Chain A
Amino acid sequence: MTAPAEAPLLEARGLARSFGALRVLRGVDLAVRAGEMLAVAGPNGAGKTTLLRLLAGLMRPTEGEVRVMGRRLTRSEPEARRGIGLLSHQTFLYDDLTPQENLTFVARLYGLRDPAAAARDALEEVGLTHRAHDPVRQLSRGLLQRAAIARALLHQPSVLLLDEPFTGLDAPSAARFRELLAAQLARGRALVLVTHHLAEAWELAGRVAVLVGGRWALEEARPARLADFLPRYEALVHG
């Protein structure tokens, strides 16, 4: 057993999910510590989205459990959800409300003291204060992503789950996003990054895992060079 100081912020044991005879995820273990990022790759249909939804608590596992900061993530104990933030393709924002209104509502959902102030601060951190009172519908794609990030981090989650965030980003935006990830790691957050673009965040990842057919084909400390890793990855995915 690791010492308490190194206890993982996010843990999954024997995670499985099936629908009737259809088994999407077949026994997945993982542990992510503070300041560490796990990069998850794999072919389409391998179960990456299901895994992320299970870790976020949006889906109930058929077997196994997820623990956030030692607390089990179950429906009857919603408190563990406080520790999780999710950044997905969808922004979870209401188009007709402003960023300030959206985030104030989220702050209320998480029971934050002074929701309006928390919303203002979060928007300031991502540089959205100048558009905080325009309906989300009017924001450009870049600003939308900033609003989504602000929403995901508003309640200061210990664990941040990211679903293919580099998709569609140009080089400067990707660089800025990498800086954001680095900052989150420096703050001691645990990150799980699901991605097709391993190159984008290679240096930041502490561990790398490949999901094929609902289970880990590989789960290990991140090799030093991506070039060494890619042939193995291709073999696993296309083998």
Chain B
Amino acid sequence: MTPTLASAERTLRFGYALTVLGLLAVSAVYVLAICFTPVEVRQGAAQKIFYVHAPSAWGALVAFALVGISSILYLWLHDTRLDLFAASSAEVGIAYSLVMLTTGPIWGKTVWGTWWTWDARLTLTLFLFFLFVGYLALRAALHDRGERARFSAVVGIMGLLLVPFIHLSVYLFRTLHPQPILLKPSSPSLPPEMLRTLMVGMAAFTLLYVGFVTVRYAMAQLADLSEGDADAV
């Protein structure tokens, strides 16, 4: 089904609205985190980076899973919209994983003195980042639309299946090389105010993700339409 110019523009406007809402929500999270959430005892104020770090990791994972699922659906249904959606999700996902990968070391260095640890979450997000890079680089290097869609779908599905193996590798690695126990307040016994801020953060970042992807998707549709018109005889 081919979208019309009007529907793509509607989607774009809707996306902008969602993005603005999302940005407001994220600002609200900052305010909540700084002013209305207690300071963590052991780590001090630096711990508050967690309220950005954890939701962006979540966002990257969601983005990646959606790339994988759209890829599977695209190869099955051959609907170009699924391909455009996957590409949009990947672009937003790489941004989120970059946020996670920069906040992680900042947090780590400030609180525990090390820039990087090979713990499960950081390692996985690093791999997601590399998979996003490969996915987007391949797309950029392919000029035939059909090839671009099919090849990136295959990479998306393969990436999805790689994730459990990364998990397994990290798990096997760590049971043999026990890492120092890093206390991160992500265990269920979070005080209620922290949990609340975290939940709000998750919701805000998810909303922002939806907004970004909608905008990007609409822009991709518009680009697709204009290319189609130019070649239509």
Contact = CB atoms under 8 A, between A and B. Distances in A.
A45 interface: yes
Interface in B131-148: 145-146
Given A20-B227, A214-B233, 10 more contacts: A20-B2, A20-B145, A20-B224, A20-B228, A21-B224, A22-B145, A22-B227, A22-B231, A23-B228, A212-B233
Interface of A: 19-23, 45-46, 62, 212-214
B232 A20 contact: no
Q: Please provide the 7 A-B residue pairs with the shortest distance between their CB atoms, ordered closest to farther.
A: A21-B228, A213-B233, A20-B80, A22-B228, A19-B145, A20-B224, A21-B224
Interface string B144-161: 011000000000000000
Contacts of A212: 233
A21 B233 contact: no
Secondary structure of the B side of the interface? Answer: helix
Contacts of B98: none
Determine chain A's interface SS by DSSP, over half rule.
loop
Contacts of B80: 19-21
Nearest to A47: B233
A116 to B, nearest CB: 36
5 contacts: A20-B2, A22-B145, A23-B232, A212-B233, A213-B233
A22 B146 CA distance: 11
Nearest to A60: B78
Contacts of A214: 233
Contacts of A21: 2, 80, 224-225, 227-229
A45 B230 CA distance: 13
Nearest to B231: A22
A46 B2 CA distance: 21
A21 B146 CA distance: 12
Interface string B197-233: 0000000000000000000000000001101110111
A19 B230 CA distance: 13
Contacts of B145: 19-20, 22
Contacts of B232: 22-23
Contacts of B2: 20-21
A23 B227 CA distance: 11
A46 B224 CA distance: 20
B222 to A, nearest CB: 10
A21 B231 CA distance: 10
Contacts of A20: 2, 80, 145, 224, 227-228
A23 B229 CA distance: 9
Contacts of B225: 21
Interface in B183-201: none
Nearest to A45: B233
Nearest to A62: B78
Contacts of A45: 233
Most buried by B among A19, A23, A213, A214: A19
Contacts of A22: 145, 227-228, 231-232
A187 to B, nearest CB: 36
Contacts of B227: 20-22
Interface string B1-14: 01000000000000
Nearest to B226: A21
